[in-house]
A and B are shown apart, each in its own frame.
Chain A
Amino acid sequence: MLDINTKKLIKNAYRVTKDRGFTALRVRVPGGSLDVRYFDIIKRIAEEYGSGRVHITTRQGFEIPGIPMVKIAEINEIMAPLLAGMESAIGVEINDLNGGYPAAGTRNVSACIGNSVCPFANFNTTELARKIEKVIYPNDFHVKIAVTGCPNDCIKAHMQDIGVIGMVLPEYDPDRCIGCEACMKNCRKVASGALSMVNYKVKRDHQRCLGCGECILKCPASAWTRGDRYYRLVIMGRTGKKNPRIARTFMEWVGEDAVLKVIANMYAYIDKYIDRTLPKEHVGYIVDRTGLPVFCREVLLDVDTGSMGKVAGFIPFGGYVYERSSY
């Protein structure tokens, strides 16, 4: 006789599967960077309680299937070091380390490999992902956030509710420029064509510049060097049955504090406007109902966008719906 509270089970990061009596545990890996010693715990749970396999999730976590629901309490105790090392250690408040994950609605904050490895990355994506995790977790609201080091967007930040994209303000010393045009040609081919040659030196069109840093990487003379670091926030991208769409730019050339504050404010916005008659409502659909101006008013509260920061006044979200009459 199984008597399981599925609402609690789901919030504990387990799920109801197609095999009656069996569940799957989703392990979070904030920022996508995992100390290999945690493999031992994941392996033990999978071997001793599950099917001996894990599924690597699209959000950079591990899903351990084939676990008997009756074993949840036991497994939660085994996985305490995961919570301590990957959540408590980065400042996430977990009251009961032996009780498993305290929430599952807010998904793992994923990140591209960032500047610990990638030459293109404009910052350490894992570190920012962990800071965001600290701001938003634990929380039951269904929100997906990802962090990517440059506009190549390898983590697919454009498929998230909030996508954070690293930018750098390129600084140019014309005296160091040899006029090789490597930056200009490359910008035109792989980025946005923001550079042009005037009197053998380079002019940068800030309106076109993505802040990707390609010009800096190409420059043989360090005429282009790294200035201040900024971020672009793309919002309300989503998959899903109703109206899948790619995220659009909400802010750009803003600092880390602004990014974290907007994200924190978004949770207050969700709390205020979510349709509680539904089992859950994704933030993107809340924005569809309230309109962008209400979203802006709420998330920009006490946000310092800085002297460089720009905020979108209007966003044509687009996407598509399967049947127009149902929208």
Chain B
Amino acid sequence: MGVYIKNNSFDQLLTELSRDYIITAPVKLPGKGAFSDTPLVTYREIRGAGEIEFNEKSRFSPKEIIYPITQTLFYFTENEYSRPAVPDQGIIIFCRACDVHAFRRLDEIFLRNGGCEDIYFAELRKKVKFFVMECRESFENCFCVSMGTNRLEDYDVMLRVSGDAQECDARGDFAGIFTGYGEAVEMIPRFVEENHTKVTVPENIDRQVFKHPLWEEYSSRCIACGHCTVSCPTCTCFTMQDIFYEDNPKCGERRRVWASCMIDGFTSMVGGHGFRNEKGDRMRFKVMHKIYDFRKRFGYNMCVGCGRCDDVCPEYISFANCINRVNTIASGVSAHE
């Protein structure tokens, strides 16, 4: 259902929706970038349409909205435990086509992997409605076309900024609500059809690639900071933390907190052993997971080509270029720069 909605009406529409939904969107926070006097584009609960950042890619992905960085699983006292409250409202997420594809990957891991559904993820996931912001053109470092995540069928609302208005394609219950705030138009979603960055994911990867000297280069370049994985919309690894409250250690809570295969300690074991002490080994593990291992189990690649890892790497390591280098090696040609 296509609807043309002026921005002030769109704001009123969000006010109506906020009765039943927590509305989250990328916002631009001035001065909150890591470098002084720079902004941070990140996800926040919003109160009005004016807060939404339509023009820039967010540094972090929307996955944190339903898969929080720190999530309390339960609180415990001496003999009892209780679970934290879950909000009654639904959750609207303003995001991009690639982000919706990324949620599908999270679903595989949390809902369909190992035959056991993650209840914490599931109860928030089913509340989600996707309001997808059309990408007029590719952002820097995006390679969604190569990963097949540029197009999208499954969305609740598709939005296109059109001057001082939004052209929307609203589906389901939203169609009726949206119609009340604007006039009917034809709105056929448009998708990015070309990125500046292009990758070729190799179909088959011989195990010889694991031992290729390519990875040694990353051992010297990578600093194991974890920026890439924390910004990644498809990384799902977490660790468990049992907290005993400082002023009363008889009470506490169990949390799960994001973890990163790139950071020291991820593979630490009793006795001080670690599987991937070399940063190049971690890079290999991450790259293979994103473009090979996940595919072997679920039939499609994990990486969605949002390019956030390349946006944030302080050492200018390009994940996209690494894919292409692996492809070159897998094709039987020696690695190039």
Contacts and interface: CB of A to CB of B under 8 A. Distances in A.
A168 B36 CA distance: 9
A138 interface: no
Interface string B221-260: 0000111011100000001010110100000000101111
B29 to A, nearest CB: 8
B60 interface: yes
A217 to B, nearest CB: 5
A122 B258 CA distance: 29
Given A177-B70, A180-B260, A199-B244, A222 B226 contact: no
A213 B257 CA distance: 24
Contact of A222 (B35, B40, B241, B263): B40
A216 B34 contact: yes
Nearest to B33: A226
B302 to A, nearest CB: 19
Given A124-B37, A174-B70, A199-B246, A221 B32 contact: no
A289 B259 CA distance: 59
A192 interface: no
Contacts of A213: 36
Residues of A in contact with B, size category: 20 to 34
Contact of B70 (A115, A166, A175, A180): A175
A68 interface: no
B56 to A, nearest CB: 15
Contacts of A222: 32, 34, 40, 42, 59-60
A189 B69 CA distance: 27
A219 B33 CA distance: 11
Contact of A220 (B35, B36, B225, B246): B225
Contacts of B34: 119, 216-217, 219, 222, 226
B70 A176 contact: yes
Contacts of A122: 36
B87 interface: no
Given A218-B225, A220-B225, A226-B31, A178 B230 contact: yes
A229 B40 contact: no
Contacts of A180: 226, 260, 263
Interface in A190-249: 198-200, 213, 216-223, 225-226, 229
Interface residues of B, number: 33
B68 interface: yes
B37 A115 contact: yes
A179 B259 CA distance: 8
A199 B244 CA distance: 7
Nearest to A228: B31
B182 to A, nearest CB: 35
Nearest to A124: B37
A6 to B, nearest CB: 45
A221 B257 contact: no
B227 A175 contact: no
Among B32, B34, B231, B243, the most chain A Cβ lie within 10 Å of the Cβ of B34
A104 interface: no
A115 B226 CA distance: 24
Main SS at interface, chain A: loop
Contact of B241 (A115, A119, A200): A200
Interface in A146-188: 149, 166, 168, 174-180, 182
Interface string A4-20: 00000000000000000
Given A115-B36, A122-B36, A222-B59, A177 B260 contact: no
B227 A220 contact: yes
A122 B37 CA distance: 8
Contacts of B60: 221-222
A123 interface: yes
Contacts of B258: 178, 221
B32 A226 contact: yes
A121 interface: yes
Contacts of B243: 199-200
Contacts of B69: 175-178, 221, 223
A229 B36 contact: yes
A229 to B, nearest CB: 7
B260 A178 contact: yes
B35 A119 contact: yes
Contact of B36 (A121, A182, A199, A219): A121
A35 B158 CA distance: 48
Nearest to B259: A178
A132 to B, nearest CB: 19
A115 B35 CA distance: 8
Nearest to A149: B36
Interface string A23-52: 000000000000000000000000000000
Given A177-B69, A180-B226, A198 B246 contact: yes
Contacts of A168: 36
Interface in A105-128: 115, 119, 121-124
A92 B318 CA distance: 48
Nearest to B29: A225
Contacts of A166: 36
Contacts of B40: 222, 225
Contacts of B244: 199
A216 B229 CA distance: 17
Given A178-B226, A222-B42, A222-B59, A200 B32 contact: no
A201 to B, nearest CB: 8
A182 B227 CA distance: 11
Give the top 3 A-B pairs by smallest Cβ distance, nearest first: A220-B226, A220-B230, A220-B227
Given A177-B69, A198-B246, 16 more contacts: A175-B70, A177-B70, A178-B226, A178-B258, A178-B259, A178-B260, A179-B241, A179-B257, A182-B225, A200-B257, A213-B36, A218-B225, A219-B34, A222-B34, A222-B40, A226-B34
5 contacts: A115-B37, A177-B70, A180-B260, A182-B225, A226-B32
Interface of B: 29, 31-37, 40, 42, 59-60, 68-70, 225-227, 229-231, 239, 241, 243-244, 246, 255, 257-260, 263, 312
